[in-house]
Structure 1
Amino acid sequence: MPPDELAAWLRLTLTPGVGNATARRLLAAFGLPQQVFAQSASALRQVVTAAQASALLQEPPGLPAQIETTWQWLMQPGEEAGGPQDAAVTRSIVTLGDENYPPSLLATEDPPLLLYLMGRCDWLQATGWPAALAIVGSRNPTPQGQINARQFAQALAGQMAVVSGLALGIDGAAHEGALQGAQPERLATIAVIGTGADRVYPARHRDLAHRIARQGLLVSEYPLGTPPAAANFPKRNRIISGLSLGALVVEAALQSGSLITARLAAEQGKEVFAIPGSIHGTQSRGCHALIRQGAKLVETAQDILEELRLPASRPAPAAPATPAPSTAPTVSAPPPAGGPHASLLTALGADPASLDALQARTGWPTPQLQAALLELELAGQVGRLPGGLFQRLGAA
């Protein structure tokens, strides 16, 4: 993109009082941003309010510095923000009028004017925007929820990109699983972030963001330097759903922001999927509510591929290969039927249970029960939940 064209697009996005909807009206009326800013005040007032027309005729505060920062960012391929150099990682900006703008997002009610991209832009240019599924959920998931997100993403990555929001919990697990299932020269995962593309939030996902850039894309609609702000994250959910064929909600409380993504997906005519959970778990209530409202209940990744009519080039079970040790507990194979703690795992079942409940089911003395639970926890077969509850991990 030539510098003068970039400057005009940035000016349009930074003009106070001119949001996406107003900017789209201006573009429809006058053409590219350069033509918008060539108009007289009277011509502008035919399309926007007098206050907006006045703002358009003035240079936004800080525009020259933002133009310089953005141009320098574009001209520095191969170096991730705060991370190691990698020549494969490049940067790009696609505009609403660009032929490389994602078609599925363009068809939504509120497409962003600009998308800042960092990652494997070369793969994107070679193959176009891939078929994708949004995987979202709680920032405070159960251990089983994290495993489910990672395993579904890993199984689906052979057929489609996984889109999520780089948040803690389910988002991070979904990105990790997609990276594990990555295929050569195909975007494994797309992280839609709520900050400028030159920032990583939360900070603990810095390494994950760098790995995503090497095998996928980081996407933002916000100008460089934009810090994390609470209002940005619900707003970016429309991009997560807009880039996807559908949305899978892994775990969500009734007031979860993930339900916003599911609602937006439904409004965009996309499929909504949900994984059922324990009737006793608060993190399952959002998924159960979605299912009651018509979301598709899924138990395996194959359920999603069949619903979306995508072929499976390899088996897509609910629990594929070994999870990444960096972000979630390792799940060991279940012990043989005659193993020392087989009866305890049977007593635990699929739902979270308290120590008192397990003691009543097994009849074991408290010290013996606590020791056995600790061994299973260290082996990655049992997770400890808030409130003194325990949950079996993996297949029950």
Structure 2
Amino acid sequence: MAEGDVFARLRLIRTAQIGPVGYRQLIARFGSAAKALDALPELVQRSGGRRFIAAPAAIIEAEIERVARLGARHLFVDDEGYPGLLAELDNAPPVITLRGDSALLQRRSVAMVGARNASAAGCRMAQTIAQGLGQNAIVVVSGLARGIDAAAHRGALATGTIGVIAGGIDIVYPPEHAELQERTAGEGLLIAEMPPGTEPRARHFPYRNRIIAGLSAGTVVVEAVPKSGSLITARLAGEAGREVMAIPGSPLDPRSRGCNQLIREGATLVQDASEIAELIAPLDHRVQPAPMASPQFDFVSDAGDAERRAVHELLGPNFASVDDLVRMSGLPTAQVQMVLLEYELAGRLERGAGARVRLTG
């Protein structure tokens, strides 16, 4: 990719109000990031948005320089080598920053997540299973958090592990995992979606969790309390059509309730690495990436006032599926997409999981 194209794509991605879906629709509509940036002021104005301001060029130049200085690199969603399973997500990150062995992205992988305040037995179980997965040539993906995540990474360092962090590629969190994060980058692979220098915030962790689930053929939950981030990762894995697995535990331990709940709701009970390897085998053919692996969107075409009114009447504060909007409006998918894109750029639309949208203003 030419240097100018990298700059334009990164500037488009880092511009406020442009999310993963909008980014790819803009590329599909205008053919390049540079042309999309030129068209954005008019698109924002159409839906009553305020004056459009692209991400400052100096910030993008500083990011490119910082990433290079760290020995990292950007990988865009339509680059050859972008992981095929992750690209299947409708909200796959348009760009990820990599530091380490990117060849691990071409191998089959399993996510392992669980409680931060994990028990000693749970950590031992996670590390043992991670070692077993490595012996089956399976990469272990986790979030470098305390407890189960850390144990899983340590168990897989010798055979292949990927750490996905919520902040920038140069930010260590939690602080006591500085050595583990550095080893993961040196012996495995470290991935960040946020720009360098970004401190992790609560809102960043669900985005990180979707990458953990999206990279992996399946997700294993070792210990988790109800309503935890680990269960969110498991839910995202299920929504993406991946295998969801859980280690059962004592009903007397609150840290087992999340896993037992998952099993009750249909997750597969697993006890060792061989069972996990057997369960994810049917997904092996989907691991390898293809050139331009980004999910394909219908061509996004212009919409007039009548089309905008038709879509607007169907939108509200509750989420509605894009398919329903197309069916009920009677409009071509491409025109509905364009109206939704205009609203998103104007800061008036929120996109939810499962291609669902709602008005926010």
TM range (shorter): 0.7 to 0.9
Deviation (angstroms), 1:91:
1.6
**Which residue does 1:252 correspond to in 2?**
224
1:162 and 1:12 map into 2 onto residues whose CA distance is 32
Q: String of CA shifts for 1:124-161, please: whole Å, max 9, x gaps.
A: 5xxx5210000000000111001011110011013111
2:152 partner SS: helix
Instruction: Give the equivalent residue in structure 1 for 2:60.
Output: 67
Query: Deviation at 1:35?
Result: 2.0
Equivalent residue, structure 2, for 1:137: 114
The corresponding residue for 2:314 is none
1:203-236 C-alpha deviation (Å, 9 max, x unpaired): 1111001111122111111111111101101221
Deviation track 1:96-150 (CA, whole Å, cap 9, x = no partner) reads 22112111111112111110001123x35xxx52100000000001110010111
Find 1:263's aligned residue among 235, 239, 263: 235
What are the equivalent positions in structure 2 for 1:18-33 lying under 5 Å apart?
18-33=18-33
Q: Which AA in structure 2 matches 1:191?
A: G
Q: Secondary structure at the match of 1:38?
A: helix
d(CA) in 2 for partners of 1:136, 1:92: 26
Amino acid at match of 1:170: I
SS at match of 1:51: coil
- Which residue number in structure 2 is paired with residue 232 of structure 1? 204
Distance in 1 (alpha carbons) for counterparts of 2:94 and 2:2: 17
Output the CA distance in 1 between the equivalents of 2:66 and 2:4. Answer: 16
Question: Once the 2 structures are TM-superposed, how far is the Cα of residue 50 of structure 1 from its aligned partner?
Answer: 4.5
Write the deviation string for residues 276-317 of structure 1: whole angstroms up to 9, x where unpaired: 11121000000000001111111111111122238xxxxxxx
* Structure number, greater radius of gyration: 1
8 Å Cα contact 2:67-2:196 kept in structure 1:
no
Alignment of 1:192-341 (within 5 A): 192-309=164-281
Look up the SS of the partner of 2:106 in the other structure. Answer: coil
Aligned equivalents of 1:73, 1:252: Cα separation in 2: 36
**Mean Cα deviation higher: 3-12 or 252-261:** 3-12
C-alpha displacement at 1:243, in angstroms? 0.2
Alignment of 1:123-134 (within 5 A): 123-124=103-104, 129-134=106-111
Task: Give the alignment of 1:336-355 within 5 angstroms.
Answer: none
CA distance in 2: counterparts of 1:192 and 1:7, whole angstroms: 24
Q: Render the CA deviation track for 1:30-74: whole Å, top value 9, x for unaligned.
A: 1221121233744x359x74427x42xx333xx334223322234
- Counterpart AA for 1:94: L
Q: Residue 136 of structure 1 aligns to which amino acid in structure 2?
A: V
| Equivalent in the alignment of 2:88 | 107
Q: What amino acid is aligned across from residue 220 of structure 1 in structure 2?
A: A
Unaligned runs of 5+ in 2: 283-361
SS in 2 for 1:196: coil
- The answer as to whether partners of 1:250 and 1:275 remain within 8 angstroms in 2 is yes
Taking every aligned residue pair, what percent have the same amino acid on both sides? Answer: 43
Is the partner of 1:37 in helix, strand or coil? helix
Match of 2:123 in 1: 146
Query: Aligned to 1:98, which of 59, 63, 79?
Result: 79
SS in 2 for 1:155: helix
Partner of 1:177: 155
Once the two structures are superposed, the pairs formed by residues 33-72 of structure 1 within 5 Å of their partners are 33-39=33-39, 41-42=41-42, 44=43, 49-51=47-49, 54-55=51-52, 58-60=53-55, 63-72=56-65
Query: SS of 2:39's equivalent?
Result: coil
Is the CA contact (8 Å cut-off) linking 1:3 and 1:71 kept in structure 2?
no
Structure 2 vs 1, CA of residues 40 and 118 (structure 1 numbering), >3 Å: closer, same or farther? Answer: closer
Point out which structure has higher relative CO (alpha carbons under 8 A, 6+ apart): 2
**Contact 2:37 2:54 (C-alpha < 8 Å) held by counterparts:** no
Distance across 2 between alignment mates of 1:66 and 1:151: 43
TM, length-normalised to structure 2: 0.73
Aligned to 2:3: 3
SS in 2 for 1:308: helix
CA distance in 2, matches of 1:226, 1:41: 27
Runs (4 or more) in structure 1 with deviation over 6 Å come to none
1:156 to 124, 133, 138: 133
The residue identity in structure 1 corresponding to 2:232 is: I
Match of 2:296 in 1: none
- CA deviations on 1:58-94 (whole Å, 9 max, x unpaired) are 333xx33422332223433xx6xxxxxxxxxx42111
Structure having the higher helix fraction is: 2
TM-score of the pair, normalised by structure 1: 0.67
Separation in structure 1 between the aligned mates of residue 225 and residue 26 of structure 2, nearest angstrom: 40
Amino acid at match of 1:196: G
In structure 1, the residue matched to 2:144 is 166
Residues 1:223 and 1:49: Cα distance change in structure 2 (over 3 Å):
farther
Structure 1 gap segments, 5+ residues each: 80-89, 183-187, 311-396
Could you say if the C-alpha distance between residues 40 and 136 of structure 1 is closer, same or farther in structure 2, counting changes exceeding 3 Å? closer
Over the residues paired in the alignment, what is the CA RMSD in angstroms?
Answer: 1.9
Instruction: Give the match's secondary structure for 2:224.
Output: coil
8 Å Cα contact 2:139-2:161 kept in structure 1: yes
